[in-house]
Amino acid sequence: MDNFTLRPATETEFSQIQDLIRLVGINPTGLDWKRFIVIVNAEGGVLACGQIKPHGQEVRELASIAVTPEMQGRGLARRIIEHLLSSSPRPLHLMCRSGMGALYEKFGFRAIAYEEMPKYFQRMSKLAGLASILMHSGDSLLVMKLE
């Protein structure tokens, strides 16, 4: 069994979290270390992270799910996601590239239409649509919800 620990992040791990988010190329904004859960190895290296990001009082986002490339495919994201889901009220939303939808469906999330999205996600969805047109990218943004 690997000697990995899942626990809340500490302030000293913030730069490792930022580095991991940059390395895997996901949204680098809204990274408050106090909200993060990490999986660390015996040497204190951050191998995986994730957070629940609030948008006002009512809206919460499962966000910043990231695993170091060399540790992917070993169930670390599942541990982070299950832990965050076990401690968060519903509903919970997330945004991801359309290709990642299958991962989150495993945890009960379903894609929602624009009309069903809270205002924050409607704004992000419009911005992503515009960026995708400007960059000629075929990848679209999926907004998903867990009731």
Give min distance, CB of 19 to ligand COA, in A. Answer: 13
Sign of CA dihedral 95, 96, 98, 101: negative
Which of 49, 76, 84, 92: binder of ligand COA (CB under 6 A)? Answer: 76
Give min distance, CB of 2 to ligand COA, in A. Answer: 12
HSE at residue 22, side-chain half, CA atoms within 13 A, is: 6
Whose CB is nearest to ligand COA? 77
Q: Which is nearer to ligand COA, 57 or 70 (CB)?
A: 70
Binding status of residue 106 toward ligand COA by CB under 6 A: yes
Q: Looking only at residues 9 through 48 of this chain, which bind ligand COA when binding is defined by CB under 6 A?
A: 24, 26
Give min distance, CB of 79 to ligand COA, in A. Answer: 7
Number of Cβ atoms within 10 Å of the Cβ of 120: 16
Any idea of the CA torsion for 12, 14, 20, 23, to the nearest 10 degrees?
-120
Distance between alpha carbon 85 and the CA centroid of its chain, in Å?
12
Binding status of residue 96 toward ligand COA by CB under 6 A: yes
Binding status of residue 6 toward ligand COA by CB under 6 A: no
Q: Where are the alpha helices (DSSP H) in the chain?
A: 14-24, 76-86, 101-105, 119-134
Which of 78, 112, 124, 146: binder of ligand COA (CB under 6 A)? Answer: 78
Q: Which residues partner with 143 through β-bridges?
A: 95
Binding site for ligand COA (CB under 6 A): 24, 26, 65-67, 72-78, 96, 100, 102-103, 106
